[in-house]
């Protein structure tokens, strides 16, 4: 139950970060800056959206 809620909320957070540039997911983290430099911002946003869909799906699948 708790795992499904955590996964769902994490998916929602990634979904929001894909559309609204939250500092933690973009420029606040050195690893993220490296990933954006390596992948490009457009592909990084696609990665966030894919992770969002996966985590929301897992959260809904694991609910009791």
Enter the tokens of residue 50: 């894919």
Q: What pLDDT digit, counting tens, does each position of 13-62 carry? A: 999 988 888 777 777 778 888 888 999 989 999 999 999 999 999 999 99
- Distance from C-alpha of 41 to C-alpha of 38, rounded to nearest angstrom: 9
Distances in Å between the Cα of 62 and the Cα atoms of 2, 3, 5, 9, 33 are 10, 8, 9, 13, 32
Residue 8 confidence (pLDDT) above 80: yes
Q: Which domain holds residue 28?
A: 2-61
Separation of CA 35 from chain center: 14
- Looking at residue 1, its pLDDT comes to 86
Domain count, the chain: 1
Q: pLDDT class for 4, splitting at 50, 70, 90?
A: very high
User: What's 28's DSSP letter?
Assistant: S
């Amino acid at each position: 139950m708790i795992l499904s809620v955590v996964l769902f909320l994490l998916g929602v957070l990634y979904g929001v970060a894909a559309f609204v540039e939250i500092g933690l997911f973009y420029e606040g983290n050195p690893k993220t800056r490296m990933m954006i430099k390596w992948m490009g911002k457009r592909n990084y946003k696609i990665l966030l959206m894919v992770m969002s869909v996966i985590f929301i799906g897992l959260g809904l699948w694991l609910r009791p």
